Structure 1
Amino acid sequence: MKQLIARLLKQEDPSVYQLKDGQLEPTLRTIDLIGLGTGMVVGTAIFTLPGIVAAEHTGPAVPLAFIVAAIGAGLSALAYAETASVLPFAGSAFSWMNVLFGEFFGWIAGWALLAEYFISVAFVASGWSAYMQGFLASFGIKLPTALTGGFNPASGSYVDIFAAIAILAVGWLLSHGVHQVARIENTIVAIKLLVIILFIVVGATAIHTQNYHPFIPAHRPGTTFGGWTGIMAGASQIFIAYVGFDAIAANTAETKNPQKTMPRGLIGTLVLGTSFFIVVSLVLVGMFKYSRYANNAEPAAWALRESGHYLTANLLSVVALIGIFSALIAILLASSRLIYAFGRDGLLPSFLGHVDAKRVPNRALWTITVLAMILGSIFPFTFLATLVSAGTLVAFIFVSLGIYALRRREGKDLPEAQFKMPGYPILPAVSVIFSAVIFWNLNVDAKWMMVGWFAIGLLVYFLYGIRHSTLAKKG
């Protein structure tokens, strides 16, 4: 038993990751990281979640749910920034926990990240599909019902064909290298932010102040709607918006001067993203009564059309279609680097850790692309949104706890951090508690699904990973 415990807690030498990740080309700058992070944070979530969360949980108080989520995410972002500056490796929390706590905890953190990334790709593609269908419907074009959504025989839908096409297109784009993709991403994000500002300006002219009353509806007993119960439930679902932090951190090995660049990218993304979320959600719930956004995956464009702003609505839909692609780029890029890290360490088949002549891990990229196409085209949008939040919160808890192990080693066998999480040792603990409370407020299905996901992860590790990992080969 002692030997098994020692094996599970065996830590990776950071110099090994430095050597292996040296195959990847460091090309990303601060602006590229903010572009990738903002592309994800101000991506599908800003175009889809405010209306759904308002209808299901918060009523007009949806901005408060975004603020609560932002506080939790902000604390985690500080922990991410310090860790990434000291351990600039691909795979983010997976690689960091391997170095700080040992292979087993690295695998658990990585497995949580895989749920987060894997489902995020499908969720984002599902949101893109909803906007594409709404845009085409405004011209009287409709797909056969069987091809319009996830598997749901009761409604007649079986596969979301647009979601599958979107994932395939982004996979092909990423296979050509990070540098070219970063330029495309930055351009898309700039256009998207301009159109979001246009939505805010135009939407503000259609606000009816009575829609804000009562701002925090009374709690409905036995449900997650209303009061602070609703706000916390909304914050839990909204946490998917902040998966962008991991999307940035996963690319640390491909970042120029990550000690300075990574903290700037993470904190810049948080500030920019949260500001837009609060203003957009305020405008949205002011335009129509929150209940009208129930089950509406394209609330912003719908609100504009219902207000008679057809030109702006169609412009928003077009930019949402392009902009959600930027979120898909960011998260598919991050997920492929995580799969690469698993293969690099031998915890999944080593062919996934291969880097080709373009210095791109294309085997990992195409593996996650095909699997995400299947998931995104079969499972419904709201189901995916909840599961992503669960994986994100588990990863945030691990990274915040990791600060305690990191501080003991900085300036000794690890470099001194150029950015340090303030308020140590109090804030890392607050960050852990905050994420745990939000996780507890997820719906029961999400929590049980994560239990099932971790059970599968333990089987994979003990049946394959523990025997094939690079640490096992070292003896």
Structure 2
Amino acid sequence: VMAAASLIFFAFYGFDAVSTAAEETKNPKRDLTIGIVGSMAVCTLIYMVVAAVSIGASRTEVFSKSEAPLVFILESLQHPRIAQLVALAAVIALPTVILAFMYGQSRIFFVMARDGLLPKSLAKVNAKTGTPVLMTLLTGALSALISGWLSLKDIAELANAGTLAAFIAVGLAVIILRVQDPGRQRVFSTPIWPVVASGAILGCLYLFSSLPTQTQLYFLYAHCIGAVVYVAFGMRNSLLARAERT
């Protein structure tokens, strides 16, 4: 069950990308709250309704073997035209996942370059649109390279591992900031933060342990490369690290 949960977790991946648009919103305090909480609530409701209808329409041991279970269920119920529409909708909707990733990840790389963790030449923005065009192109090229090297299953599992690690880092950040800087002005204060942060960390660690060993090794290799880049380049050039040292 937990192995399946660690993969289903991928369905919720992306809501955190809303936070990367903070600098491009008119009212971050209001807009980000609505965007993150609203998207999570709507998506969870849709997933629950679709899952309930699917289980009620067919046996799980039958449609679970299909790569397109919703289409399979509709075809088994003698609704081929609706099945075709669902398949078409899936094809149209898939690029939105790519766009969400490209938008969020390119902004993360952009901020890293602006801080000095990556070469500052990558932090250039378009004079007219104010968007990181160069970093967006590089992110797309890197994504294409990874998608050509790994299978779809490996990519999904590796994305889950990275997302779980990011959420663990957020939980640790909540604990550290609440202990070291309790008087900080906060736009949003986590309620009962010891329980919420600790629960998030333990839950993510449990899901991470349910991932295949190969995925965990890929994750370790990627972070070893990142650690080498940080020690060799980022640690000496990071503006934030310099400020903390002074």
Give the TM-score of the pair, scaled to structure 1: 0.48
- Structure 1 residues 453, 321: CA separation in 2 closer, same or farther (over 3 Å shift)? same
Distance 1:469 1:436 in 2: 29
Contact 1:238/1:389 (<8 A) preserved: no
Q: Which amino acid counterpart does residue 429 of structure 1 have in structure 2?
A: S
Residue 242 of structure 1: how far off its partner (Å): 2.0
Query: Does residue 267 of structure 1 match 2:37?
Result: yes
- Which residue does 1:335 correspond to in 2? 105
Structure 1: runs of 5+ lacking an equivalent: 1-230
Aligned residues: 242
| Aligned counterpart in structure 1 of residue 167 of structure 2, from 386, 396, 404 | 396
Residue 425 of structure 1: how far off its partner (Å): 2.4
SS at match of 2:172: helix
Aligned pairs for 1:412-451 within 5 A: 414=184, 416-451=185-220
Contact 2:16/2:36 (<8 A) preserved: no
Residue 452 of structure 1: how far off its partner (Å): 1.3
- Which residue does 2:68 correspond to in 1? 298
Distance 2:174 2:157 in 1: 27
Instruction: Please report the RMSD computed on the Cα atoms of aligned residues, expressed in angstroms.
Output: 2.1
- Structure 1 residues 464, 419: CA separation in 2 closer, same or farther (over 3 Å shift)? closer
Contact 1:259/1:417 (<8 A) preserved: no
| Aligned counterpart in structure 2 of residue 325 of structure 1, from 77, 87, 95 | 95
Residue 365 of structure 1: how far off its partner (Å): 0.1
Aligned pairs for 1:220-299 within 5 A: 231-293=1-63, 296-299=66-69
Query: Does residue 379 of structure 1 match 2:150?
Result: yes
Distance 2:163 2:36 in 1: 15
Residue 464 of structure 1: how far off its partner (Å): 2.1
Q: Which amino acid counterpart does residue 328 of structure 1 have in structure 2?
A: I
Q: Which amino acid counterpart does residue 388 of structure 1 have in structure 2?
A: A
Instruction: From the two aligned structures, give the one with the greater helix fraction.
Output: 2
Distance 2:21 2:57 in 1: 39
Residue 460 of structure 1: how far off its partner (Å): 1.3
Contact 1:347/1:461 (<8 A) preserved: yes
CA displacement 1:27-78 (0-9 Å, x = unmatched): xxxxxxxxxxxxxxxxxxxxxxxxxxxxxxxxxxxxxxxxxxxxxxxxxxxx
Distance 2:37 2:240 in 1: 34
CA displacement 1:206-254 (0-9 Å, x = unmatched): xxxxxxxxxxxxxxxxxxxxxxxxx211111111122222211122221
Contact 1:400/1:428 (<8 A) preserved: yes
Contact 2:110/2:135 (<8 A) preserved: yes
- Which residue does 1:173 correspond to in 2? none
Give the stretch that moved more between structures: 465-474 or 440-449: 465-474
- Which residue does 1:353 correspond to in 2? 123
Distance 2:159 2:118 in 1: 22
- Structure 1 residues 260, 286: CA separation in 2 closer, same or farther (over 3 Å shift)? same
Distance 1:410 1:337 in 2: 29
Residue 424 of structure 1: how far off its partner (Å): 2.5
Residue 353 of structure 1: how far off its partner (Å): 1.0
| Aligned counterpart in structure 1 of residue 137 of structure 2, from 366, 374, 377 | 366
Structure 2: runs of 5+ lacking an equivalent: none
Query: Does residue 308 of structure 1 match 2:64?
Result: no
Q: Once the two structures are aligned, what percentage of the paired residues are identical?
A: 30
Q: Which amino acid counterpart does residue 466 of structure 1 have in structure 2?
A: M
- Structure 1 residues 375, 315: CA separation in 2 closer, same or farther (over 3 Å shift)? same
Bigger RCO of structures 1 and 2 (CA < 8 A, at least 6 apart): 1
- Structure 1 residues 471, 417: CA separation in 2 closer, same or farther (over 3 Å shift)? closer
Query: Does residue 463 of structure 1 match 2:232?
Result: yes
Give the TM-score of the pair, scaled to structure 2: 0.89
- Which residue does 1:112 correspond to in 2? none
Residue 471 of structure 1: how far off its partner (Å): 4.7
Contact 2:106/2:135 (<8 A) preserved: yes
- Structure 1 residues 454, 303: CA separation in 2 closer, same or farther (over 3 Å shift)? same
CA displacement 1:406-427 (0-9 Å, x = unmatched): 334354xx4x223221112222
Distance 2:219 2:197 in 1: 23
- Structure 1 residues 377, 306: CA separation in 2 closer, same or farther (over 3 Å shift)? farther
- Structure 1 residues 297, 384: CA separation in 2 closer, same or farther (over 3 Å shift)? farther
- Structure 1 residues 274, 239: CA separation in 2 closer, same or farther (over 3 Å shift)? same
SS at match of 2:143: helix
Aligned pairs for 1:94-173 within 5 A: none
SS at match of 1:421: coil
SS at match of 2:193: coil
Contact 1:351/1:363 (<8 A) preserved: no
